[in-house]
Chain A
């Protein structure tokens, strides 16, 4: 205000006289105005009424678009392809350690001699002990029993035939239970 231009003395008098005139009191109801101002007050989020409708409209458009795409989507194609998978050769089975009491399936004809047969048979602790107790009689008796056992014919079917039979059995659902 200090930089405001000052009027000359001839205008200062009329200026002071006019300034002394007080405007008529306001006819505004102060309390009512304060109440209406409080009622009109809105949080910042509500001052942008376009925000949430625009978000809702955008999401609705997205849903409609997705629905249209799903409705027009072609039926899924079933592609049948024959894939031949060659099974690698089976690795050699690990050596089976003979159990203590399990009899060893040894074909007598494959034994080179009675010593080989005994070497196989005495791998079990029980036979070894019996052999040590009863002597050669026991060993010869057991050996003869193996010799006299009827020979089991090895399977004549090939591995491939057995595998195919296994697959057929696996795929066969079977009858009614």
Chain B
């Protein structure tokens, strides 16, 4: 793979890939780095490098999460000082609340939301990634958004402005 292309992929997808990998393991950056190295070693670059990276990160993160075990995962989560999102944001949502609610979501809806919203994957790609149909992926996504809307509604400034109480 061309070094420039690899550099662009790192710039564009590294953050989203780490966010995606944090759903399963604590050492997300190691998993993402290994995925980029595997991509660089490919004799023939994949047709869609982003989708390939998300699949590689998913498989590696699940395996790493299993290997880490419950105890180490808790330690990693505790040691993880930084949150999932940047604190300085233009979003009306509080980043810590959004992270907490995302963690509370079921794995399926959460994965579709992260892959689609921040990973930029289509529902077809998300479906292939998760081994489900694109319509099922979209249903999971919509269900997850609906749940987040209900849970974050009180903390969303836009809703607070609309809410007469």
Chain A residues proximal to chain B, CB less than 8 Å: 1, 4-5, 7, 10-11, 13-15, 17-28, 30, 33-34, 36-38, 40-42, 44, 47
Does residue B7 face the partner (Cβ distance < 8 Å to A)? yes
State which of A13, A21, A34 has its C-beta within 8 Å of the C-beta of B6: A34
Task: Report the separation of the CA atoms of residues A78 and B83 in the bound assembly, to the nearest whole angstrom.
Answer: 93
Chain B residues proximal to chain A, CB less than 8 Å: 3, 6-7, 10-11, 14-19, 29, 32-33, 36-37, 40-41, 43, 82-86, 89-93, 95, 98, 113, 117-118, 122-123, 138, 142, 145-146, 148-149, 152, 156, 158-159
Q: A10-B149, A36-B37, A40-B40 in contact; A26/B91 too (CB < 8 A)?
A: no
State which of A5, A18, A27, A33 has its C-beta within 8 Å of the C-beta of B123: A5
Closest to B28 in A: A27
* Contact assessment for A14 and B3 in the assembled complex, using a CB-CB cutoff below 8 Å: no
* Contact assessment for A21 and B43 in the assembled complex, using a CB-CB cutoff below 8 Å: no
* Contact assessment for B95 and A21 in the assembled complex, using a CB-CB cutoff below 8 Å: yes
Residue pairs across A and B with CB atoms within 8 Å: the count is 120
Closest to A1 in B: B122
* Contact assessment for B93 and A26 in the assembled complex, using a CB-CB cutoff below 8 Å: no
Q: Smallest Cβ distance from A29 to chain B, in angstroms?
A: 9
* Contact assessment for A14 and B86 in the assembled complex, using a CB-CB cutoff below 8 Å: no
State which of B10, B40, B84, B156 has its C-beta within 8 Å of the C-beta of A14: B156
List A contacts of B156 (CB < 8 A): 13-14, 17
* Contact assessment for A28 and B19 in the assembled complex, using a CB-CB cutoff below 8 Å: no
